[in-house]
Amino acid sequence: MKDKKERPGERRTWSLLPKALRPRIEVQTQEERPVVAIIGAGPAGMEAAIQIARQSCQVLLFEANADLALNLQNKYKLFPDMSDAQTLAQGMMLALEHPLITVYRQTPIKHVVQVENFHWQVFTEDNRVFKATAVLLCTGYEVFDARRKEELGYGIYNGVITSLELENMFKQEHISTLTGDSPKRVVFLQCVGSRDEKVGNRYCSKVCCVTAVKQAIELKRMHPETEVYVFYMDLRMWGKGFEEMYRVAQEQYNIRFVRGRISEAAGTFDGGVQIKAEDTLIGKPLKMRTDLLVLMLGMEASCGTKQLAKSCGIVGDYGFAGSLDPHLNDNHTHRKGLFLAGTCKRPMSLTDVIADARSAAMEIINYLSKQ
Ligand code: SF4
């Protein structure tokens, strides 16, 4: 039912809030509202901020960079529906323009401290202090630094590029080699920096298989004449619509999938890349020349995730933040009032990040209702 006393921004909130909570929050003045500090304005932080503000709580959203959702903004199309990444990012940023959300850009957070049982202080690197009733870490991931796999030649040979650099070429709608020509052959290599004992990352990054298939399809759409190969260990097409994309890649676009590892890459005199690999299905070594070798980079815990997880005593596997348990309390930590959402916990897809942020928002609202 429409409430004529609603304040701006609250209109959509009451119908979503559990009945028992409505009167309690409704009578609060702006000053009395619970304050939630969210650290990190990627998709998880932005989505959680929007959901929490819609429940009439005040949100302080901190972002270390000048731009919000940088990883999302660096993308061109999203799998599996090939929708436009910029449209989604812009839509989320527009929704942040809510009277209860304050965004602090270029504000890295040094640490967060629990001062009383139910209150937190957030310390910025420029020595400001903010009070909050709950804190949500959404400090996200960083991509693996391809230079750590020296044998693959990234940073040495111009024909070796990363999946991020290829995504940027898609955004420019111009795929070319260093000489400016359209590539005649492109090879993708999976699992760079993931499932790799040598670099200390045994885990799977979950989204690079489907990203390679998506990029291979985009490439064939722009350059149907280009030969495209994907070298993989296993193809993990686990999400809705992923397996269908894999079939389309083979049947409609003639993209060739080779089960095998590339052991070495070297530059050729004409700016290409010579790769040495083994086809593990037929058990034979092979050599191939390609114009571009695209390294599908895995996800690692970001510096912010590592730093805050350590200072809060919630370090999980591989430097990611650890939740209380993976089943019923995956947004909780063992610290009261400290919550987690998105890829600060582990690699996940954008779809899962948004669902997880909504789940964290609901957990925080439940938590605030009990204080
Ligand atoms: S998603 Fe695929 S490419 Fe990425 S780490 Fe897992 S198996 Fe390797």
70-97 tens-digit pLDDT: 999 999 999 999 999 999 999 999 999 9
The pairing of beta strand 299-301 with beta strand 227-232: unpaired
**96 φ, ψ (degrees, to nearest 5):** -70, -15
Architecture of domain 146-298: 3-Layer(bba) Sandwich (3.50)
Q: Contact 319/306 with Cβ under 8 angstroms?
A: yes
Ligand 1 atom, smallest distance to 212 CA: 3
Q: Is the CB of 298 under 6 A from ligand 1?
A: yes
Q: Is the CB of 205 under 6 A from ligand 1?
A: yes
pLDDT at 364 over 70: yes
In sequence order, the 6+-apart residues with CB closer than 8 A to the CB of 46 are 61, 68, 69, 92, 93, 95, 96, 357
Q: Which of 144, 190, 234, 242 has most ligand 1 atoms within 8 Å of its beta carbon, as the pocket-test mutant?
A: 190
Q: How many angstroms separate the CA atoms of 133 and 346, rounded?
A: 25
Average pLDDT over residues 184-188: 98
Q: At 262, list the tokens.
A: 């590339």
Helix (H) or strand (E) holding 166: helix 163-172
Name the CA dihedral angle for 157, 204, 256, 166, rounded to a multiple of 10 degrees. Answer: -40
The tens digit of pLDDT for each residue in 26-69 reads 334 445 789 999 999 999 999 999 999 999 999 999 999 999 99
Going by C-alpha positions, the residue among 102, 107, 89 that lies closest to residue 52 is: 102
pLDDT at 16 over 80: no
In sequence order, the 6+-apart residues with CB closer than 8 A to the CB of 184 are 225, 226, 227, 291
Architecture of domain 19-140+302-370: 3-Layer(bba) Sandwich (3.50)
Q: Contact 337/135 with Cβ under 8 angstroms?
A: yes
pLDDT band at 116 (very low <50, low <70, confident <90, very high): confident
Cis peptide, bond prior to residue 99, ω within 30 of zero: no
Count of CB atoms within 10 A of residue 328's CB?
8
Confidence (pLDDT) at 32: 76
Nearest 5°: the CA angle 8, 11, 13 is 115
State in Å: Cα 49 to ligand 1 middle. Answer: 30
Q: Contact 305/285 with Cβ under 8 angstroms?
A: no
Going by C-alpha positions, the residue among 331, 293, 323, 272 that lies closest to residue 36 is: 331
Count of CB atoms within 10 A of residue 15's CB?
9
Ligand 1 atom, smallest distance to 191 CA: 8
Q: Which of 209, 262, 352 has most ligand 1 atoms within 8 Å of its beta carbon, as the pocket-test mutant?
A: 209
pLDDT band at 19 (very low <50, low <70, confident <90, very high): low
Going by C-alpha positions, the residue among 342, 77, 354, 74 that lies closest to residue 213 is: 77
Nearest 5°: the CA angle 252, 191, 292 is 60
Q: How many angstroms separate the CA atoms of 321 and 219, rounded?
A: 36
DSSP structure class, residue 306? H
Q: How many angstroms separate the CA atoms of 77 and 255, rounded?
A: 19
pLDDT band at 179 (very low <50, low <70, confident <90, very high): confident
pLDDT at 20 over 70: no
State in Å: Cα 310 to ligand 1 middle. Answer: 27
State in Å: Cα 267 to ligand 1 middle. Answer: 26
**152 φ, ψ (degrees, to nearest 5):** -90, -5
Sign of the four-CA dihedral 335, 339, 344, 348: positive
The ranges of the chain annotated as CATH 3.50.50.60 are: 19-140+302-370, 146-298
The residue whose C-alpha atom lies closest to atom 6 belonging to ligand 1 is 204
State in Å: Cα 167 to ligand 1 middle. Answer: 17
Q: How many angstroms separate the CA atoms of 38 and 45, rounded?
A: 6
